[in-house]
Amino acid sequence: MPSQMPPPQMPQARPDRHRAGGAAVPLARYRLFRSRDLDEARERVAAVFCPHRLDSLAARRRFDAAQHHLPGQGLSLNYIDYGARMLIEPGELGAFYLLQIPLEGGAHIVQGTEGYDSTPTHAALLNPHRHTRMTWAEGTRQVLVRIDRAVLQAQAVAMLGLPEGRPVTFRGGIDLRAGPGAALQRFVLWLVAEADAGRAPIGQGLMARAVEEALMAGVLEAALPERDGAAAAVAPARPRHLRRAEAYIAAHLDRPLTLGEVAQAAGASPRALQAAFRAHRGTTPLGFWRDLRLDGARADLQAGVPGTTVTDVALNWGFQHFGRFADAYRGRFGELPSETLRLTH
């Protein structure tokens, strides 16, 4: 992946009131750019984050991008709004983790073989070492925290006892409705409010460093990373048979599976495996298998390769009954596969 470009110097600007009902949007004092030019927006965002694919999936007239950026020592606070429905594909982020907290709208996130939705009640936390692809809904406005990979990994080693030299990996999003997730959201939005009031809480100095460490501690508590047995006391690890089943399913998405086959590969009874998936994933083994295939189908439809048809995509991902495929797809993503394909052209 191309090396990350250093972020440019940000001039102080008057509060930007072009959205959010006339009220000042977050971090408006730190406006980096506002543009209706897609290429310019892609270049300016890449300067802070990393090179990426950025495509509008709606009429260009709806595209109205803005980014606000407050840098710190090991992390930065950001606000991004594209106006239009967007396809964003950075691949592997490489040098940083990215926490995304939607204020309005939401996004569908695919990292590796895992897909999930991010909404104002569920933040996204992106790993730097897994391929990332996102679709932001029209009107999505987000506060984003970019955290240097090395800094977060060092904190995870110190706080959680995770092995050094091994990537810290998070799964899924963060529930913002209660508990550590709600506390993390309140803390991030408080930092934004302090910055908006002219009291930037991050930057240089020991207190700013302590603030950043507190934020990273909140991330680790709200989205406990996958861990080996050495750190199992921090939170219950996924049962070994569940991990084996997930790996087996992900490796055999190209053919039909049965519960008995998956259970045998995992070394557990079908009943025990069903219970583990319900307790840790909120679904069944075959439901997990179906969702991974639906995520793959959605990624293919969003890629918009010329000549792509819904039928071809459904068959490629093992869906033989097109009506059931359409129903399952709409239930997971809120739109028909034909609508997803149409928006890419």
Same-domain status, 269 and 204: no
In terms of C-beta density within 10 A (0-12 exposed, 13-18 middle, 19 or more buried), how is residue 319 classed? Answer: buried
* pLDDT for the residue numbered 253: 79
Is residue 2's pLDDT more than 50? no
The enclosing domain of 332 has a CATH number of 1.10.10.60
Q: Domain count for the chain, please give it.
A: 2
Alpha-helix runs per DSSP H in the chain: 38-48, 149-160, 179-196, 206-222, 240-251, 259-266, 270-280, 285-303, 310-316, 322-333, 337-343
288 with 160, same domain? no
Q: What pLDDT, on the 0 to 100 scale, is given for residue 12?
A: 38
The whole-model pTM stands at 0.63
The pLDDT-based confidence of 107 (bands split at 50, 70, 90) is: very high
pLDDT digits (tens, 9 = 90+) for 53-74: 999 887 666 899 999 999 999 9
Average of per-residue pLDDT values in the chain: 84
203 and 245 together in one domain: no
Question: Same domain for 219 and 177?
Answer: yes
Secondary structure of residue 118 in the 3-state scheme: strand
Among candidate residues 199, 197, 220, 218, the one with its CA nearest the CA of residue 208: 199
pLDDT at 9 over 50: no
Calculate mean pLDDT across residues 114-123. 92
Give yes or no: residues 331 and 249 share one domain.
Answer: yes
Which region among 47-51, 65-69, 110-114, 216-220 has the lowest average model confidence (pLDDT)? 110-114
The pLDDT score that the predictor gives to residue 90 is 93
Domain assignment of residue 262, yes or no: yes
What is the per-residue pLDDT for 88? Answer: 94
pLDDT of residue 22: 46
pLDDT at 10 exceeding the cut of 70: no
Are residues 78 and 187 part of one domain?
A: yes
Percentage of the chain exceeding pLDDT 70: 88
Q: With respect to residue 1, please indicate whether it lies within any of the assigned structural domains.
A: no
Mean pLDDT of 179-197: 94
Residue where a domain terminates, one of 231, 251, 276: 231
Q: CA angle, 272 as apex, 167 and 173 as ends, to 5°?
A: 35
Structure tokens belonging to residue 226: 């996958």
216, 279: one domain: no
Distance of CA 91 to the CA centre of its chain: 12
Q: How confident is the model at residue 3 (pLDDT cuts 50, 70, 90)?
A: very low
We report the CATH number of the domain holding residue 78 as 2.60.120.10
- Cα 56 versus chain centre, distance: 18
Does some domain include residue 50? yes
Q: Domain span at residue 272?
A: 240-343
Q: Which of 211, 231, 251 is the last residue of a domain?
A: 231
Q: What is the pLDDT of residues 277-304, one digit of tens each?
A: 888 878 899 998 998 888 888 888 877 6
- Same domain, yes or no: 180 and 329: no
Last residue in a domain, options 212, 231, 250: 231
